[in-house]
Amino acid sequence: MNSISCEVLEFDKQLFDTVRSVNILSAVNPVNFQAQKQAFFDSHFSTQPDFSYLARTVDVFATKRQLFTLPLEAVIDEDLHKIYFDTINSYVDKVDQFNSIGTPDFMYDSLRYFGEPTAKDISNARFILHLPGNVNEENETLLSLDQIVNVLSEFASNNNLQHTMKVEDNMVANAIAAGTTIKVNKNAQLSLSNTSALAHHEIGVHLVTTLNARAQPLRILEVGNPLNTMTQEGLAILSEYLSDNLTINRLKILALRVVAVASMIKERSFRRTFSLLKEEYGAADELAFSVCARIYRGGGFVKDYLYLQGFHTMLHAYENEPNFNLLFTGKASINYLPHISRLVEKGILNEPEHISPIFKQPNELNEIKQFIAHAIK
């Protein structure tokens, strides 16, 4: 392995320390989610939910000044320099986004960072939503909370993945990997197949890439490549697909998120987006609220339209990219895969310690599921 200079190690540490508190996904989780959901339902969908958030701010000017004064000249390697340079610039935008949570500016900062659904994204969503079948929960027996926790914990333990489990209230998602902690929604209502999908998604990808990032000699892949959301969520949906847990129902939920983001950008009304999902696409009340809450949290969080796009991109990479497994080195983006590949070859980064087993031995999928997956462009 190539030795990494003390100057680069110190630079890497300074960058990590500067941005470690800018965790947008955690910060946009409403602290009053359950109360606002109940109020919305009690009003017969006539009020606009008023989500509130923990008070977390960063000094925008001081943080940007720290980012721009980091000694980037210490990084001589061209591939590493490129990743650091782009990461610093992306966090300049991310700091604005973090600080505007709960304000009208948040949606614009989110759009500036993640972009917005293209005509192709919306076309893919409509294609999926017009597939046969009901968009709502499939008719399967629901697991108890203890059973959900056990399925997730056993998946992590069976794959020798360091983790802790935590049950929380006021979560928008059913489960989420936050660092090495798997947080499970106290109110989650999931079938065994949906819980298995979550295990492959949150543990098999998000936890695995966290552990691999922390095993690197540098922390840059724990900080994450710019716009790694599309790659990371695409890998997570791909893991659901390869494990044969990506149902038509699940695809339709991902498609609803795309049309909900487009609606929010145009209408900026929770009630109108909620009505759209119910009336045009037949979503049940609980599902429509869940999708809208994900999209409108923080003031307008647009990242959810990237899941379908990411799935298409990662499926193509899985089938064609010889260095595909290096996407598990940390919070990597496929845009930087050539740089990461060369850094691994040079011994500056390590190959991933863990690879989710489903990528090594995928389940056999029927032709219809394969056709639908490849019809997403």
Which residue type, as a one-letter code, is found at position 108?
Y
CA distance 278 to 58: 38
CA distance 286 to 289: 5
**CA-closest candidate to residue 110, choices 32, 28, 21:** 28
**The predicted structure's pLDDT at residue 133:** 80
CA distance 138 to 236: 21
**The predicted structure's pLDDT at residue 56:** 76
Q: For residue 300, which phi and psi values (nearest 5 degrees)?
A: 135, 85
Which residue type, as a one-letter code, is found at position 343?
L
326-361 tens-digit pLDDT? 999 999 999 999 999 999 999 999 999 999 889 989
**The predicted structure's pLDDT at residue 138:** 60
CA distance 154 to 159: 8
**The predicted structure's pLDDT at residue 210:** 97
CB neighbours (10 Å) of residue 118?
Answer: 13
Question: Looking at the DSSP assignment, which residues form a beta bridge with residue 176?
Answer: 183
Which residue type, as a one-letter code, is found at position 234?
G
CA distance 70 to 228: 22
**CA-closest candidate to residue 95, choices 14, 179, 21, 178:** 21
CA distance 13 to 26: 22
Q: State how beta strands 175-178 and 181-185 pair.
A: antiparallel
Q: Decide: 102 and 30 in contact? Cβ < 8 Å.
A: no
Mean pLDDT, rounded, of the chain = 94
CA distance 375 to 377: 6
Instruction: Give me the residue label for tokens 């149902």.
Output: 247
pTM: 0.95
**The predicted structure's pLDDT at residue 140:** 79
**The predicted structure's pLDDT at residue 139:** 67
CA distance 52 to 134: 33
Instruction: Give me the residue label for tokens 């090495």.
Output: 180
| Vertex 113 angle, CA 112 and 118, to 5° | 75
pLDDT along the chain (377 residues), means of 10: 87 96 90 95 95 87 94 96 97 91 94 95 96 75 94 94 92 91 93 94 97 97 96 98 94 97 95 97 95 96 97 97 98 98 97 93 92 94
Q: Decide: 11 and 75 in contact? Cβ < 8 Å.
A: yes
CA distance 368 to 120: 22
**The predicted structure's pLDDT at residue 255:** 98
